[in-house]
Chains A and B, each alone.
Chain A
């Protein structure tokens, strides 16, 4: 089931960026018959006559007629199931039957309107002062039209974006700066953990990154006695049990490979992150013990944004692996400087392998906020569409997607001027790293993983040394592999 919203976005993306303001704010409606302006007239405020019969409409009409996916639970429930809460949720409105076509059109046109409003709001939000009022109006309208409990994907996603933009708008007066930017509805740690695990069952997004990186590591260190992984962001350590299991299953006894993991924590993320890193260590140690894998764990604090390799404990004869997994939903803005510093300094360790996993959201420099906003909208609409429907979906959307979208919006708003390099792989390629080929086994594993989920996912090769997970035509996550130019094969 495809949500037309995704296609709306992708069609929108294909139009030249410059045309947008004209498209949205033009008053020359040739066929001003259908939906008229949707911006109410406020005192003394510009009233916009949005032309919804723009080029997109025809495109949309010729596309899929499916309505958006919904989050209802299984439609047929046995009758003993009279428990409250199961069948009366607002998301169980399966209007699959009846006025399907009419609904589809209504959905599509609403989706179109929402996109336009969002883009307009985004544009206005970074404008000069006189558009602040316009922003407020647009956001109010959006809030009115959407809710995170809505029936269709597009409405719910638009709601999350609206919330994110609202936050940005509120803070417009405040000097935007780097630093930990916490989403106001910070959820409980258990909630977040639960939601993460549920997300892993709904999409290969997270595990594509983990498993692909892990497979490359296993291949690179196959004949090493000692392995030392320096993990930039260990989160809960979820990446490593599968590695440990693989190590144990291929070596036992005297040929066992010894694994060391050093996890970084960054001062900018505060005390919580230190505690989380230490807890991850405890859990991993316990797990390793339970399967008999020789293991030791270290915690390295990055005091500032600079990484100092001498603060690592190194053992002679060990193979160093740098693991940089950046694609997980992040709720706070992470300045790129610390990653840059980490990668540059880590090169001095002569790593056998550097794994880099990141989202495919273009932070291409000099493109401006609006372009990045559209790209972000595109990315999230694809992710939204790709998630398996299910009863847990609403929870995951609220706990993860809300803050995730907000975090990203802050990031692209702040870094509009700052981030000038196109992408991590390019940076690595031009800073003393050489590509490491992706193996047949790794490609196989990725395809196998995807086969467990919705149709629509695909794996592409990224040059010689990477794989990209995509949904339909949108690239979502890429994993690439490198070694320092001086390291021996």
Chain B
């Protein structure tokens, strides 16, 4: 008697009671010309209870629900559509495009029942509305991600500038104290780069770098040198390091301060207070960092130096350019919120 494709006929048997708001069975029917079953709060709650008893919306079937609910006048058809809505309501991400014809007609039946009242907020909404809401939230999350990236970048730049300024002030005071060539040349930043873990971008050794204007040649030489070091480093640590980008442990986000690499040197020494010598070294590092942009450009243009493109090393080199947001290795705009994703690239 009931045709799935003709939703309007499903309430055929109720036409006799079309005028009544509340039938004998306790079901509430609308007074529309086409009476539809009204899923009231109580009815829906009974439905939910029944579903729960039966082990959840996936296990319950309209037949069993009908039996458990024991509500007179409630038909399989009512329950079928309500159950489907309920199931979909629990999984807002579910795609609708895959539905077979049969289901799509059921879906259109649901559309007709779009105004059905119920206690569950989700149930009363159009599926499309819910979908839109979810999409809106996802979009907002992506926006937040993008904004955060930019903000952290801005903050990092600023912090670098205040640090440089403070060092310059200090340098002005200390220059007199430091005689020519006064700083030790042992800082070997190659060691720094490796020791810092997945930060392949490193400073050339201080004694070789013309602090106030580096030349491309020097930088390239060191680039090659450091590439090698980086490779060694990564070969040694490959497991751990790939995990750093792919797994749970992430490299520390850099709030714009690459200075800390320099600090590795003396902070690992015997914890003496920073003396003037060290301070000067740090200042030199500070100056170097301002040239980092030009360094990184060069690094960026040659991504394949450490091997083929598919090699982690090359990618890491590219990734870690300070010009980019420090978060870029970790943010995949297509992946929603960052949670140690598999594809670290934009």
Contact = CB atoms under 8 A, between A and B. Distances in A.
A242 B152 contact: yes
A246 interface: yes
Contacts of A244: 154
Contact of B263 (A78, A211, A246, A395): A395
A210 to B, nearest CB: 8
B188 A78 contact: no
B195 A81 contact: yes
Interface residues on B, range: 35 or more
Nearest to B167: A190
Contacts of A441: 140, 143-144
Interface string B57-72: 0000000000000000
A283 B267 contact: no
Interface in A236-282: 236-238, 241-242, 244-246, 249, 279-280
Interface string A440-456: 11001101110111010
A236 B154 contact: no
B229 A197 contact: no
Interface stretch (B73-81, B107-115, B249-257): B249-257
A268 B167 CA distance: 27
Contact of A197 (B163, B191, B268, B271): B163
Given A78-B229, A190-B166, A283 B158 contact: yes
A74 B197 contact: yes
Interface stretch (A105-113, A164-172, A198-206, A311-319): A198-206
B165 interface: yes
Q: Taking each of B162, B233, B256, B259, which has the highest tally of chain A beta carbons within 10 Å of its own beta carbon? A: B162
A448 B266 CA distance: 33
B148 A85 contact: no
Contacts of B233: 78
Nearest to A85: B269
Given A197-B257, A201-B254, A241-B157, A448 B144 contact: yes
A328 interface: no
A76 B170 contact: no
B265 A86 contact: yes
Contact of B257 (A201, A211, A452): A201
A451 B338 contact: yes
B2 to A, nearest CB: 43
B328 to A, nearest CB: 12
Given A78-B236, A287-B158, A86 B264 contact: yes
B260 interface: yes
A286 interface: yes
Contacts of A207: 152, 155, 255
B113 to A, nearest CB: 30
Interface residues on A, range: 35 or more
Contacts of A202: 252
A190 B144 contact: no
Interface in B190-232: 190-191, 194-197, 229, 232
A98 interface: no
B250 A90 contact: no
Interface string A204-220: 00010011001000000
Interface in B281-336: 282, 327, 330
A190 B229 contact: no
B120 interface: no
A237 B166 CA distance: 14
A238 to B, nearest CB: 6
A77 B140 CA distance: 42
A83 B148 contact: no
A453 B137 CA distance: 24
A201 B253 contact: yes
B140 A200 contact: no
B271 A398 contact: yes
Given A246-B151, A391-B268, A451-B337, A73 B195 contact: yes
B20 interface: no
Given A78-B229, A201-B255, A395-B267, A83 B188 contact: yes
B296 to A, nearest CB: 19
A194 B154 contact: no
Contacts of A86: 191, 195, 264-265, 268
B124 interface: no
Interface string A182-204: 00000011110110011011100
B161 A286 contact: yes
A454 to B, nearest CB: 8
B165 A283 contact: yes
A197 B151 contact: no
B99 interface: no
Contacts of A81: 191, 194-195
B133 to A, nearest CB: 11
Nearest to B279: A190
A452 B338 contact: yes
Given A200-B255, A242-B154, A451 B264 contact: no
B270 A77 contact: no
Contacts of B150: 245-246, 249
A103 interface: no
A171 to B, nearest CB: 23
B13 interface: no
A89 B250 contact: no
Interface string B168-182: 001000000000000
B267 A392 contact: yes
Contacts of B154: 241-242, 244-245, 291
Contacts of B267: 391-392, 394-395
Interface in B112-171: 137, 140-141, 143-145, 147-148, 150-155, 157-159, 161-163, 165-167, 170
B191 A83 contact: yes
Nearest to A291: B154
B156 to A, nearest CB: 9
Nearest to A72: B268
A241 to B, nearest CB: 4
Interface in A276-321: 279-280, 283-284, 286-287, 291
B236 A193 contact: no
Interface string B334-346: 0001111000000
A135 B266 CA distance: 36
B1 interface: no
B6 interface: no
Contact of A85 (B259, B260, B266): B266
A286 B266 CA distance: 32
B186 interface: yes
B144 A445 contact: yes
B282 A238 contact: no
Contacts of A188: 170, 274, 279
Nearest to A203: B252
A91 interface: yes
A330 B338 CA distance: 32
29 contacts: A78-B236, A80-B190, A83-B186, A83-B191, A84-B186, A86-B265, A89-B269, A90-B270, A148-B271, A188-B274, A191-B274, A194-B259, A197-B259, A198-B263, A201-B252, A201-B253, A210-B155, A211-B148, A236-B162, A241-B155, A242-B152, A244-B154, A246-B151, A283-B161, A391-B264, A440-B137, A444-B144, A448-B148, A452-B253
Given A74-B196, A441-B144, 7 more contacts: A74-B237, A86-B264, A194-B163, A197-B259, A238-B158, A279-B165, A440-B140
Ranked 7 nearest A-B pairs via Cβ: A242-B151, A245-B154, A241-B158, A89-B268, A395-B267, A444-B144, A85-B269
